[in-house]
Structures are given as structure tokens and as C-alpha cells.
Chain A
Amino acid sequence: MKKFIYIFFLALTFSACEDVIDVDLDQGESQLVIDAFVTNDSTVQTIRLTKSADYFLNAPTPAATNAQVSIVGPNSLIYNFVSDQTGNYLYDPNTTGALDSIGYPYKLEVLYDGRTYTSISILNPVPTIDSISQSFEEEELGSEEGYYTQFWARDFPGREDFYWIKAFKNGKPIDTVDNSNLILSQDAAFSGNAADGFAFILPIRAAITNEEEPFEVGDESSVELLSLNAEVFEFLEQLTIQANNGGLFSTPPANIRSNIKDASGNSQDEVLGVFSMSAISRASETITAE
């Protein structure tokens, strides 16, 4: 929500400016980073392990290759993720099957450098996307002329749900800068139990078009709707804030708490990252002339 306010502020700042400057930063110790977003899809699932590095590294952070990564499912079934030696650990659902037991608390286990890290994430259900609608819009303050799409889906009533909406234009994410402006939804609205069981409310429903580069005839607009756990929703909200935390109304930079813990129970902040199980639903639509 602050983003909207910020946009209006920017439109009004007659001479505000941003430029890159040199800053000397302290260097900190490196930590293990676990980037584990797993879905119920039957495509190959990837968990990425890296090490944190100096802030101004300006290159991909180093891979952590010698870990053992697995997820424990129903009936103690173990899904092994195999290292490809580039930091990615892969699981092909064609071997033991997809991780698709809705409502089950899956457990991540990572063995690295003599320590075990674990986390639990429930695979929550996801609504189907009924349709994607399109309409031609003329230029407005902060948005260009072109075709705008909206996705239509309805939140499950009677329960608290969290979602991550990924939007694509011709197969590429619509956020062309750094993909850090995530579209997140609690039930069908921003936060609170405001819109339980509703169709996703207007600003969220319409957030699948990049206002700076709307669709043209022939483009494909597609959407992925992912279910999340509350902690992961919070993690991603914080990620959006911390990755875009500049300007007049920035908040104090803060570390994001991981939902992955050292299995021995001590040292709170030893590992960075997040483990998320998501159910996914998809839809896409080709833009046609009105």
C-alpha cells in the first residue's frame, strides 16, 4: 500500500534525484543461504544453496555444493534433491512422484558442514484461476496506453490463506528490473482478514500488467497463483520491502528472519533463506484486438 503513496509522491517531486555513489562497507562473515521454493508441480523441482558474500561482490554469490538436501513427505517418504555441483539441488517428480499431498506439513532437511538445518512448510490448497480478462486502456498518470489484463479467481472462504501471484508477459516475468516487486495477497486483499472468500480485489487482480509496458495484440499474459504459509508470506513481504527500501518513506533496513532453523536448536540467525511448499494454478490468455 505504501507503494501507491510513494508513486504519487514521486510524481510530485519536482527535482528529486538519485545517483550512485561510492560507499565503503564493513565485511561480514559468510552464511549458508537456502532458497527452497517447492511446488506440487510434476516438473523438476529445484532448491538452491549458496553462501552470503560481501555486499558489493557484484557477481553471483558462491554456490554451496556439498550438502545433502531432502524433503520428508507423508509416510516418511524421503524426496532426495541431488546436487548438480552449481548450487542447485534437483528432484525429478517422475521418480518418486510429485510433492502434492495438500495439507501435509513437509519437512526440509539440509545437512551442510556437519550441521543439520530443518524447516516445516504445509502444502496449502490453491484456488483455480477462472479466467483472464483484457481491456484496452488509454494513457493515465503513471501508466502507458495498451492492453491491461486481470485474473479472476476466488479465495477459499472460511480460512486464512496467503498467496503469491506471479505474472508473465510472453513467458517472461513482467517486473523487468529485478523481480523484487512481488504481488502478494492475504485472502483476496492486502492484509488482514478483509476479503475472505472474495474474488481477488481490484488492485491485486489488475497487478498482472506492467503499467510501463502493457500488453500489445498478440502478446500472451499468463499468471501463476501459488499458495503460501503465513511465515513465507511474511518473508516475501519483507523481501519486497528490503529490496526496494529507498527514499523519503524508507524503513530502517532490517534483516529478514528465516523459517529454517539449526536442528540442534541454538544459534538463531545462522542460516538465511526460506523453505516454502506451494500448490500452484495457472492460466494464460493471448491478447486480441477489441
Chain B
Amino acid sequence: MKKIQLLLPFLFISFLLQAQEKYTISGYVKSASTGEELIGATVAARAISVGTSANVYGFYSLTLEKGTYEITYSFIGYEEITKNIVLDDNKQLNVELAEQVNELEVVEIDGERDEANIKSVEMSVNKIDSKTIKKIPALLGEADVIKSVLLLPGVSTVGEGSTGFNVRGGGIDQNLVLLDEAPVYNSSHLFGFFSVFNPDAVKNVKLIKGGIAPEYGGRLSSILDIRMKEGNKKEFTGSGGVGAIFSRLSLEGPIKKDKASFLIAGRRSYADILARPFLNDNLSGSRFYFYDLTAKVNYEIDPKNRLFLSGYFGRDVFGSGFLFNWGNATGTARWNHIFNDKLFMNLTAFYSDYDYAFGVEGDGEDDFDWSSSIVSYSVKPDFSYYINNNNTLKFGGQSIYYNFKPAVAEFISDGQTNSLSLPEKFGIENGLYIQNERQIGSRISLLYGIRWSHFAFLGEGAKQVYRDTIPGIRKDLESSTEFDQNEVIADYNNFEPRLSIKYDVDEFSSVKASFNRMSQYLHLISNTVASTPVDLWLPTTNNLEPQIADQVAVGYFRNFSKNKYEASVELFAKDFQNQIDYIDNADIFFNEQLEGDLLSGDGRAFGIELFVKKRTGPLTGWVSYTLSRSERQVEGINRGDWYPTRFDRTHNLSVVGSYEYNPKWSFSANFVYSSGTPATFPTNRYEIQGVILPHNIDQARNNYRIPAYHRLDISATLTPQNREDKKIKGEWVFSVYNVYNRRNPFSIFFDQNENNPQVTEAIRFAVVGSFVPAVSYNFTF
């Protein structure tokens, strides 16, 4: 570690010495039709084989020796433009590219420059754009960001209908899900059947599983970076749809042409509205719906300053007599500032809140209300310094202040009120990073850097100390010391070195390798198979240490047929520390001494991922196969031996295909196969008060596997060919989920027979037990 710290300044200084007479051309690359920035657009002086790509805000900076150049701006799906540039001074040039017209030819699925798979130093990264997400056949025809991510290599889930996803052996809380840079703590509607991101508002989605750059931190296993559209700067447009679950509407347009635009997108489920006429008076009081609203405005103050404001608000509401709701709210403000041709800054400030509440519909005499929340506030400056064409330096930092309210509850019983709450918890997470992406010669690229992260568990609160006991048994509280507001109760520092290397084998292939250390200071406390909306997020404390993971990945990347096909093979190995588990029968729901019920252990995961993607043409799609293992070792569980995690799936195959038959019809299908997840089965039974209880005499965890999961979904899209001048364009999507009607087991559990309680049975629980057809209608205007 020390060595790396010493080495870094030298590496950064070395390229500052190569000064010659050089000038920089910089600016933004945008779409001519909508004004949206084109993330990753290529800017190249082809004659001398020098190029760069636009960053996530569409900004590029290219430094060349004094001279005259033909500079080509290109982006897949757009007509390329070549500009003749006399570079005798630093220049600023914003370029707009026109969309290609022949739609069949330009179908592409990742919004990525052609050679990115092999040329970029990034590895273990998958990108999907919203067009692709919308093509994948989905449950009830609802295009879904998270469900699309599940089809990527290295990603698994405990089962259908569960919230979140697992990346390379990591828990669902180890994914940093960012919506316009604000973290989303619970990404699901309806317990996990749908995710909270409205595909109409999403621009693109990037999943980073390994080789994670120092600019990212805070979670162990992945970054899911979701970027919202900016809103059309040229004209007013809208889109929407009517489906089996949601109806959607989004509007976007210029506030001030080419300067400012807005986007607003909303969805609401309407099972309740459809059902209402069929329910009698009493049932009509019941509520079950969910909605989300996404809004964004951006304003180009001047060529050097741009401002973005975006927000998300969504909520699920269920109840009849007993009410339950949960949801996220996020708000992000960003300021892009260009200091000069080489120095770009993005300053983000965000607010993110997740909360849930439930209670009975009381009458004043009798009532019961409960709520819980996690709120975070953050400031995050990020700088990109385009030193020269071989070095791009990024540095920045982040501070996040957290406020946890585990429970605020009030009871009224027979007119008597009592409120009780678990104490609030506070914490601050800080990070500083520096990284350089360096090109060495024509074949080698390096991305190296380090992130320093720090977490302080702050007052006002108590430092609880627990007595040691036999692992697996509840720890008793030994002492509790009160701390004042903002007093540090416990704090931790971690240095996280990161390194990625790419070597071009030839024009069509490269090998890459990476190492990353990640640390995580937030923990999702959940001991159920699928996470529930009432699961708590807790900070690192004096008892709960930060989670740490080290990952090594190597891969071979190759493109075929003029970048029409991309292929990769990656191997990864991961080592986890301070993984949370729970004592048997832990009480995690309302427990002031929760930490006495928590266990800590190690984890490991390793695997191989194969990925082949066809990016362009009438037929697009991918095949992804992962062979992996994910395990934990925790004293007090499984006699202290290693055991597979609940989401360990040995084989995991996804085949995703989409075929544009003609302008009127297109077809899509996907097939998934994955090994059954591990489960704990009993060995014995015994009887207490007439109840038959299961017992496992070996105290084993996850000693069996449930049967494999496989499923085929298909869809057909009909786009009626209207007259050219008609502004509203529509399409019908017909889909069938789980075509061959398989009852995929989510779990197997054991219970007494209803008619003969002496008979015990193994019961297969399938979340979706039949095929699910759906029709939806989408439109744009």
C-alpha cells in the first residue's frame, strides 16, 4: 500500500513534463434532433490515429500539436461529421450529429462506440440503452431496468419477484444504484416485481461489476449508473403507454430553444382502478397502487456552465384497514463547469430518502402507526483534467451525511397513547480519489488510482458494547455510553487501490486485467430470502465494521465482423470481509439491541463469464453464461464451515434476441436458465403443543438445492405504418412471459398438511405459477 502511495505522484508528474506546442479542441457532442448529449461519442483525428470519447455529460477534449486536422465526430446510429480544423489556438466546438434515417440498418443495442469492447480500458462493464430495455419481453409487458440487468453475465437473483440483484457473489445491498448520481435505497415496486425506474425517462444504464474506478465508492459489488434523459431541446415531444400494470406518460421539450429543456415522466399502476367497479362497497376502501414521477430540467447558462436539476418520487401503497406504504425520493442538482479546454468539473449535490410506514386505520380510540427512514445528503465534486491525449486525470471527493430513523411508532389503545421510537443514528461518509487513465504506446492502456474512504458513526447516540458469547447466541449488552450531537462514536479509514490494464493483442482483440478494493459503510439488515420493504439500513458502528471486498478479474475481449459481434471471457475472484449474518431466530424488526443478534464473517466468490453480443443489424441480442460460486463463512452458522449463499447459482444462462422483421413487425425472445438456489432442509421433526416443528440436527445452512429455474418469454411488436405527416406514432406490444408454463420454484418449505396435521410435506412455492400474456400500447408524439 505504501509503495503505491509513493509511486502515484511520480506517475502524475511524469506526463506534465512533456510540454510542446499543443492546442486543445473541446466541447459537447449532441444529437441534432433532440439536443441530448451523446455519451461516449467518438472524436478522432483519423489520419494520425488519435482520438477520444465524450464523457457522461457529452463533453470531449482533444489535445493535438499545432496543425491542420480532419476531425471526425461519430456515434453509432448517427451520421458522422468531419470538420476541417486549423488548430493554432485552443478551440471550443460543439457538434450536433443527425440521426441516421434507415432504421433497420442502425439498430444497435448499447449506445456505445464500435470498438469500446476491445479498446476501452474498462472491463466487467455492461451497458444497455433504453431502446434495448424496451425490447426485452417482460412480465406483463412492462419494460424494466432491473429485470434487464438480470440478463447480464455475473448477475443473479434469489428468485422471481424479489427485489434487487446480486453481482458476482455480492448481496443486494452491495450494489450502488444511482439515478442521476443520487443513490436509490430500494429499487422496487410491488415487493420486487417491477423496478422504480421509468424506462421512458431513462437514457442509458451502465453496470460496473469489476475494475471499478476510484471515482466510485461506497458499495462492494457493483455500480448501477442510471442516467436520465435531459429532455428534448429542439421541440416538444411526448411518449407514453397503456399496459397491464402501469399507464405511463412522459413529456419533454425546450424551455428555451437549445438552451434549456425539461422532462417529466410519470407512471401509475391501476389494478385498483380497474378492479373498483367489481368490488362491493367495503372492498372499494382497499388500496393497492404504486406510482412514480421523474422530472428534470437543464439549463445551459453559457458555453462554460450548465445546470441540471432532477428528481424522483415514487411510492407503493397497500392496505385495507391495515395500511402500508413505502417509497424513495431523490433530488439532484448538478453544475457542469468548464474551467478551460482541459479542465472539466461536475459538482453534484443530492438528497435521497427512503421511508416506509404502516399502521391501522384507527378511530382515535385505537390506533397504531409506525414509520422508518434513511435520509442522506451529499456533496460531490468531480474534476476531469485532459492533460494530453495519453493522460486523463480525474480527481474529486464526496461527503454524505446520513440520518437513520429505524422506527418511530405510536400506539393508541382504548384511548391511551404511547409513542416509542428506536434512537436515531447518524453518520458521515467521506471519500477522496485520484485516478489517471493513461495510454502507453499504441497497445497499452492503464487506469490507476486510489480512493480514500472514511466513515464516522456520529452522535447523538449510544455506544453499545456487547459481551462476548458462544458465536450464534444472542450477545448481551454490557454497557451503553451516550454521545453528544456530532461527537464521533467510532470511525474507520480505508485506502482502496484500483488498477485496470488493457493490452491490445491485435486490431480485433485485447486482454484486460483489474484489481479493486472496495469498502462499504452501509448495511442492509435483512434475514429473509427476498428483501422486504421494511428492511433496515444501518450504518457502520463500533460493533458493525465496514464491509470490504477485494476483486481480481482478467478477461479476453474480441470483436468480429467489423464490430458487429462482441465477445468476452472474464474470470473473477473476490474476497469479502465483515459480511453480516444473523443468529438463529434473530429479532431484527424492532430491537434496540439489534447488534447483539448480528454475526460477522467472511465471503468468497469466483467464476467465469462468457458473453457474446450481436450489436447491429436486424437481429440483435446476446448470450451470457456464468459459472460461479458464492460462499460465506460465519462463526455460529453451519458449525463454522463455509456454506453457499442463498443466491448462489452454479450455472446461469441468458439468451436475449430481437429481430426486426420489417418496419411493421419486430419480434423478441429471451430464455433464462439458472441452477436452483441453496436451501436449508430439516432432518427431524418434533411436536410441541400439537405443532410439528422441523429440526436440523447438524445445524446445517443451505444444505440442499431447489430445482433449476428456466423460462422463455416472447414478444411481438406491431408498428402500424401511418402516413408520414401524422405526428402520433403508436405500437402494440404482445408478450407472453413464461411461455411454456413452468412452475419455477422460488423456495421449498415444510409444513403440516391442512387435513391431516400429522402428515408433513415439502411444498414448492412458485411466485409465477403460469404463463402470463399481456398486451400494451405505446405511443410517441
Contact = CB atoms under 8 A, between A and B. Distances in A.
Interface of A: 1-2, 4-5, 8-9, 11-23, 25-31, 33, 35, 37, 48, 50, 52-61, 138-142, 152, 177-180, 188-196, 198-203, 205, 234, 237-239, 241-257, 269, 272-274
Given A28-B697, A191-B587, A248-B530, A56 B760 contact: yes
A198 B769 contact: no
B283 A139 contact: yes
A23 B762 contact: yes
Given A16-B765, A20-B763, A55-B684, A178 B692 contact: yes
B337 interface: no
Interface stretch (B260-268, B316-324, B423-431, B622-630): B316-324
B88 to A, nearest CB: 66
Contacts of A57: 685, 760
Given A17-B766, A195-B413, A247-B749, A253 B320 contact: no
Contacts of A152: 414
Main secondary structure on chain A at its contact with chain B?
Answer: loop
26 contacts: A18-B765, A19-B764, A20-B762, A23-B681, A26-B703, A27-B684, A28-B695, A31-B695, A61-B686, A178-B692, A179-B691, A180-B752, A192-B420, A194-B409, A195-B413, A200-B413, A201-B368, A203-B368, A239-B689, A242-B693, A243-B693, A243-B752, A248-B159, A248-B530, A248-B747, A251-B527
Given A138-B282, A252-B680, A202 B413 contact: yes
Nearest to A1: B589
Contacts of A18: 763-766
Contact of B414 (A13, A19, A198, A251): A198
B303 interface: no
A177 B754 contact: yes
Interface residues of B, number: 94
B764 A21 contact: yes
Interface in B526-551: 527-530, 532-534
Contacts of A12: 190, 288, 318
B650 to A, nearest CB: 19
Interface string B356-380: 0010101000111000000000000
Given A61-B685, A141-B286, A198-B418, A15 B411 contact: no
A246 B413 contact: no
Nearest to B191: A9
Contacts of B321: 140-141
A75 to B, nearest CB: 30
A119 to B, nearest CB: 14
Contacts of A140: 282-283, 285-286, 320-321
B302 interface: no
B274 interface: no
A56 B761 CA distance: 7
Contact of A55 (B367, B418, B590, B685): B685
B684 A195 contact: no
A57 B750 CA distance: 13
Contact of A16 (B319, B587, B691, B768): B768
B420 A52 contact: no
Given A52-B695, A253-B680, 12 more contacts: A20-B763, A28-B696, A54-B685, A139-B282, A178-B757, A193-B420, A198-B414, A199-B416, A201-B366, A247-B747, A248-B162, A251-B527
A2 B589 contact: yes
B770 interface: yes
B528 A5 contact: no
Nearest to B767: A16
A60 B758 contact: yes
Contact of A179 (B318, B320, B690, B747): B690
A246 B765 contact: yes
A31 B528 contact: no
Given A16-B765, A202-B360, A250 B418 contact: no
Contacts of A202: 360, 362, 366-368, 413
Given A19-B743, A238-B585, A249 B686 contact: no
A159 to B, nearest CB: 15
B529 A249 contact: yes
Contacts of B409: 194
B684 A54 contact: yes
Contacts of B75: none
B694 interface: yes
B585 A58 contact: no
Interface string B282-293: 110110100000
B748 interface: yes
A217 to B, nearest CB: 21
A29 B753 CA distance: 24
A31 B688 CA distance: 13
Given A19-B743, A189-B411, A254-B584, A180 B691 contact: yes
Contacts of A33: 686-688
B16 interface: no
A250 B288 contact: no
Contacts of A237: 585
Contacts of B591: 191
Given A54-B685, A202-B368, A256-B585, A29 B766 contact: no
B259 to A, nearest CB: 46
A199 B414 contact: yes
A56 B159 CA distance: 27
B724 interface: no
B751 interface: yes
A101 to B, nearest CB: 24
B722 interface: no
Contacts of A189: 411, 413
B683 interface: yes
Contacts of A141: 283, 286, 320-321
A195 B409 CA distance: 11
Given A61-B686, A194-B418, A28 B698 contact: yes
Given A2-B589, A248-B162, A255-B695, A194 B764 contact: no
Given A141-B320, A247-B765, A58 B690 contact: no
A38 B190 CA distance: 45
B764 A272 contact: no
A50 B763 contact: no
A179 B692 CA distance: 10
Contacts of B20: none
Q: Which of B162, B416, B689, B767 has most chain A Cβ within 10 Å?
A: B689
Q: 5 nearest interchain CB pairs?
A: A17-B769, A28-B683, A28-B697, A254-B584, A246-B749
A35 B285 CA distance: 45
A199 B696 CA distance: 39
B696 A191 contact: no
A255 B473 CA distance: 12
Contact of B694 (A188, A193, A253): A253
Contacts of B283: 139-141
Nearest to B707: A21
B166 to A, nearest CB: 16
B746 interface: yes
B322 to A, nearest CB: 5
A252 B750 CA distance: 12
A203 B697 contact: no
A83 B209 CA distance: 64
B469 interface: no
Given A12-B190, A23-B748, A58 B758 contact: yes
A234 B768 CA distance: 34
A267 to B, nearest CB: 13
Interface string B216-256: 00000000000000000000000000000000000000000
B686 A15 contact: no
Nearest to A200: B413
A152 to B, nearest CB: 8
B416 A198 contact: yes
A189 B407 CA distance: 15
Nearest to A138: B282
Contacts of B751: 178, 243-244, 246
